[in-house]
Amino acid sequence: MAETAAQLRIGIDLGGTKTEVILLSGANGELFRTRIPTVRDDYAATLAAIAGLVAEAEAAAGVGNLPVGVGIPGTISRKSGLVKNANSTWINGKPLQQDLSRHLQRDVKVTNDANCLAVSEATDGAGKGYDLVFAGILGTGCGAGLAWRGEPIVGPNGVAGEWGHNPLPWTSPTELQARPCYCGKTGCQETFLSGTGLCLTYQRLTGEKLTGHEIVARAADGNNAAIKTLEDYLDALARGLAAVINVLDPDVIVLGGGASNIAQIYSTVPTLLPRYVFGGECDTPIVQAVHGDSSGVRGAAWLNPL
């Protein structure tokens, strides 16, 4: 291929159900991409699966020893060097970054998958051209990552951007207590702002379980309960993002995950933000991720910039 090895980098996205690899070129973008089912509950097999995907990408490139970045659903502790906070629990407490570097015989960069979203969108997505990018994930869970001029911000505790596990601002104690979270606390933003949280709001209002798609469709058809659920969701999202703006004042907020496809977010939330942002004004752009569910694996590749 015409690209030089210096232009090529490999990204791995270790997801709960799939593990994906991408080969990116600074000149021509995506050159190779494939995914396999995630090997669950087996750490050694996880390392082998990642190594196998890297080998496939290098075979497609025709060169070896390319830079590798890996996004994981957790973080690397700076104190111990071990994985923590991963919902792929079999990698918790493991020296994943060291083991991959040894296995692949090169320095492998590993970070949280939400940070990969932020890096991807800051590099060549909806956050391109902005200095400080806050990238929120509104999916099955609710997380976020930060990028400053295309580089991830991790923090000394490895939890920079862990937006979903703070209580939803300006919410009654009764409502917070009614939303237990898997992390052991109650009222986390994840229990309101994730796609799962949207469905829970509708269920608490009606007693009926629906998917997010069904709720949005019913709202479009004029169903009062679905309309109320969507209104409550958008107001909660505005409160959650206002707290981010009050602390960080990012240049842009990029949203990914399934619930980010709700079109009303981008027309309604900006009008609600001034109610909650300190000072009563807010011009922060709220935009949808350009690369969708590809942002994680793309951002992992861009952990090794050109």
- Give the CATH number for residue 212: 3.30.420.40
Q: Are residues 175 and 83 in the same domain?
A: no
- CA–CA dist 306, 214 (Å, integer): 43
Domain membership of residue 155 (yes or no) is yes
Verify that 166 and 281 share a domain, yes or no. yes
Strand boundaries in 26-90, DSSP class E: 29-37, 68-72, 75-76, 83-84
Q: Burial of 222 by CB count in 10 Å (0-12 exposed, 13-18 middle, 19+ buried)?
A: exposed
Which has the closest alpha carbon to 143: 175, 123, 115? Answer: 115
Say if residue 142 is in the same domain as residue 175: yes
Alpha-carbon dihedral angle through residues 9, 14, 18, 19, given to the nearest 10 degrees: 40
Q: Are 242 and 282 in contact (CB under 8 A)?
A: yes
Give residue 276's identity as a one-letter amino acid code. Answer: Y
Number of domains in the chain: 2
Give the span between the Cα atoms of 141 and 153, in whole angstroms.
Answer: 20
Phi/psi of residue 223, each to 5°?
-65, 125
Among positive and negative, which fits the CA dihedral 226, 228, 231, 232? Answer: negative
By C-alpha distance, which of 95, 256, 82 is closest to 163? 256
DSSP 168: P
123 in a structural domain = no
Distance from C-alpha of 56 to C-alpha of 87, rounded to nearest angstrom: 27
3-class DSSP state of 144: strand
Q: Note the pLDDT of residue 47.
A: 97
CA distance 116 to 127: 13
Do 165 and 100 lie in one domain? The reply is no
How far is 267 from 279, CA to CA, in rounded Å? 21
Determine the structural domain holding residue 94 and report its residue range.
5-118+294-301
**77: in domain:** yes
pLDDT score, position 183: 85
Q: Please name the residue that has the structure tokens 């111990």.
A: 80
What pLDDT is attached to residue 3?
A: 62
Q: Same structural domain for residues 285 and 138?
A: yes
Name, in order, each residue with C-beta under 8 angstroms of 231's C-beta and a sequence gap of 6 or more. Answer: none
- Continuous H helices in the chain: 43-61, 96-104, 113-124, 173-177, 190-193, 195-206, 212-220, 224-248, 264-272, 295-301
pLDDT at 28: 60
In a shared domain, residues 132 and 257: yes
Indicate if the alpha-carbon torsion angle 158, 133, 114, 52 is positive or negative. negative
Q: Please give the pLDDT value at position 27.
A: 59
Nearest to 114 by CA among 245, 260, 295: 295
Give yes or no: residues 56 and 135 share one domain.
no
Residues 137, 244 within the same domain: yes
Please state, in angstroms and rounded to a whole number, the distance separating the CA atoms of residues 255 and 164: 13
| pLDDT number for residue 158 | 85
Strand partners, 110: 70
* Residue 306 located in a structural domain: no
pTM: 0.87
Grouped pLDDT means (10 residues each) for the chain, 306 residues: 76 90 85 94 97 97 96 91 90 97 96 93 95 94 93 90 94 96 92 96 97 97 98 98 97 94 97 98 97 88 86
Say yes or no: 159 and 96 in one domain: no
φ/ψ of 20, rounded to 5, equals: -120, 150
* Residue (of 249, 240, 250, 246) closest to 272 by Cα position: 240
pLDDT at 1: 47
> Same domain for 142 and 211?
yes
* C-alpha to C-alpha distance for 282 and 77, rounded to whole angstroms: 35
